[in-house]
Structure 1
Amino acid sequence: MLSATLTDILQAKNISTERFREITNRLFSQGIVVRDEDGVEEKLYDDALRIEDALTDFFHLAGFRLVHSHGHTYFRLYAPGAQVPGEVEDGLEEVPGLRAKLSADFVALALALRFHFNQGLCEGGSRLTDTGEVLVRFEELATTLQTQLKRQLPATVTDKLKLLAELKRHRLITYAANFSVTDEDAYIAIRPTILGIVSNEVLEAALEADDAEREAAGAEAADAVEGDAPVAEEAVPAASEGAVRAVDVGADAANNEVENEQENADEAR
């Protein structure tokens, strides 16, 4: 019965069941569809927009929440029990298997990104792009980590680039193909999608935490990275209420990124 109803809805919108699967599979695997990411996601977003109500109901039945940012043109899927910035709690139990295993460095840098995004919105000017992104130098992020969050970036250039690549995979930043962490004039663009990951309340709590809390939280995060426990809650004190849970749904996406990018390129051609 549900299948027949869904089929009727899709037919009325001229969307095939195969296309519906493509959209839902992308959201389940990546956790997000951003219209300005590339040609493939632009088409996925436009088709998802046509069947938004059906998608929302479909995910709701399984306990997921589909949030649509109209202004920044992206859909983000949240797992059951996730705390969504600006949304009331769904009252559902969390599903540990859907929790992303995020490193302490990832969580800390996400907080720094939100800090600079807020700052960029206030300052405006050349830091703010036409698409709502905020430009920041890599060294500025490093300084913010040290002075505001009392953390250091990974020591090696390779590890720094891996961290940035992970943030990029989660659609939180973009940077040029020739970007170099040693180039003082190289910019990173912080995307508005950061708003769905780190709330202002979480950021404020992180900035107000004392050194002892940060050290304790950092130790717990290191243990969690090595084990099976999720680290999003322990990485920094402010994350204890779920600072970065929006990426839970796309927890396995990073492992398949090379294959996904190749598929995207093939589809685009």
Structure 2
Amino acid sequence: MLTETIEQQLEKENMSLSEFQELLIRLLNYSILCRSESQIEQQLYDRYLRISSLVNEYLQMIDVRVFHEPRFEYIRLYPPSSQVPGMEEATQTAFSGSLRSRLSQQEVALILVLRLQYDKALREAQVDDQGYATESFEAISIAMKNIIGRTLPEKPGERRQLFNRCKKLRLIEYRNEDDVLKSESWLKIHPMIVSFVNDEALQALESPAEQSAARENPDLLEAISSSNDEAE
């Protein structure tokens, strides 16, 4: 019955059920669609625009929320009980699954620093027309040490893994894998970072007192991570 209703709606847009399924599977598996990322994501993003109401209604049945940023052309899914930018506070519901991803303390630290550096670039009008902020890996390393009291991993493999994690979350872009090992190389911080890190987590590191607490008490990062689990 539900399938027939969906097919009727899809027929109005000259779209097949398999195309609808492909879009949903991609969203649920990755929870992110960024039009500029690849040709495949461009096609899926444009497909979403054609049937956004149907996709949103379908996902709403399982309490998965869709955050769409048309200016920067990306979509992110949020699992139940997550705080979604621009939406009312979510109700508390039990949930565990592929949408929710537990971040390590090191990942939380880096992501918070990326958000702070992005906000700084915004204040200084240092973002490009697509909303990206450009920072050197050296600047990120210095900010990590000054704000969080942590250093980036010394081992090349661990450092690559840390930055690759953020890249998979579409929070940053850089050209080559080995760029993360070169202080003079540059990365671009995606405007998606603003919707990924909620204001409560950011406020935990905005004052000198809180920065000092984060340096002296690593468990603060664990608390931030626990209260700010995000969609992958």
Across the two proteins, how many residue pairs are aligned to each other? Answer: 229
What is the deviation of 1:121?
1.3
Number of the residue aligned with 1:121:
122
Q: How far apart are the structure 2 equivalents of 1:182 and 1:240?
A: 29
Aligned to 2:78: 78
CA distance in 2, matches of 1:200, 1:91: 18
Mapped pair 1:201 → 2:200? yes
**Unaligned runs of at least 5 residues, structure 1:** 219-233, 248-269
Q: Which residue of 1 is the match for residue 22 of structure 2?
A: 22
Aligned to 2:66: 66
Report deviation, 1:240: 4.5
- Partner deviation per Cα, 1:49-95 (whole Å, 9 max, x = no partner): 10000000000001100111111111111111112233212214131
Question: Which protein has the bigger helix share?
Answer: 1
In structure 2, the CA distance between the partners of 1:213 and 1:186, relative to structure 1 (3 Å rule), is closer
Specify the SS of the correspondent of 1:47. Answer: helix
CA 1:193 to 1:147, structure 2 compared with 1: closer, same or farther past 3 Å? same
CA drift at 1:149: 1.7
1:217 deviates by 4.4
Percent sequence identity over matched residues?
31
Query: Aligned with 1:164: secondary structure?
Result: helix
Q: Deviations over 1:95-129 (max 9, x none)?
A: 133431321111111101101111111112xx422
Equivalent-residue separation in structure 2 for 1:178 and 1:90 (angstroms): 37
> Whole-Å Cα distance in 2 between the matches of residues 48 and 172 of structure 1?
21
Tell me, yes or no, if the aligned pair for 1:149 and 1:207 is still in contact at 8 Å. no
Q: CA RMSD in A?
A: 2.0
Superposed displacement of residue 16, structure 1: 1.0
Alpha-carbon shift at residue 184 of structure 1 (Å): 3.2
**Aligned residue identity for 1:145:** M
Where does 1:159-198 land on structure 2 (aligned, <5 Å)? 159-177=158-176, 179-198=178-197
* Matched residue, 1:40: 40
CA shift at 1:215, angstroms? 5.0
Note if contact 1:35-1:45 (Cα within 8 Å) is conserved in structure 2: yes
How far the C-alpha of 1:178 sits from its partner, in A, is: 6.4
1:217–1:94 distance in 2 versus 1, CA, 3 Å: farther
Q: Out of 207-216 and 61-70, give the one that drifted further.
A: 207-216
Give the gaps of 5 or more residues in structure 2: none
- Partner of 1:267 in structure 2? none
Higher relative contact order (CA 8 A, sep 6+): 1
Return the TM-score normalized by structure 2: 0.90
3-state DSSP of counterpart to 1:181 = helix
Aligned residue number for residue 7 of structure 1: 7
Secondary structure class of the residue paired with 2:152: coil
Q: Which amino acid aligns with 2:42?
A: E
Q: Tell me which stretches of 4 or more aligned residues in structure 1 moved more than 4 Å.
A: 210-217
User: Is the Cα contact below 8 Å between 2:77 and 2:231 reproduced in 1?
Assistant: yes
Equivalent in the alignment of 2:88:
88
Stretch deviating more after TM superposition (40-49 or 170-179): 170-179
What displacement does 1:213 show?
5.6
Distance 1:94 1:107 in 2: 23
Q: Aligned pair in 2 of structure 1 residues 115, 53: CA closer, same or farther (>3 Å)?
A: same
Matched, 1:112 2:113: yes
TM (norm. structure 1) is 0.79
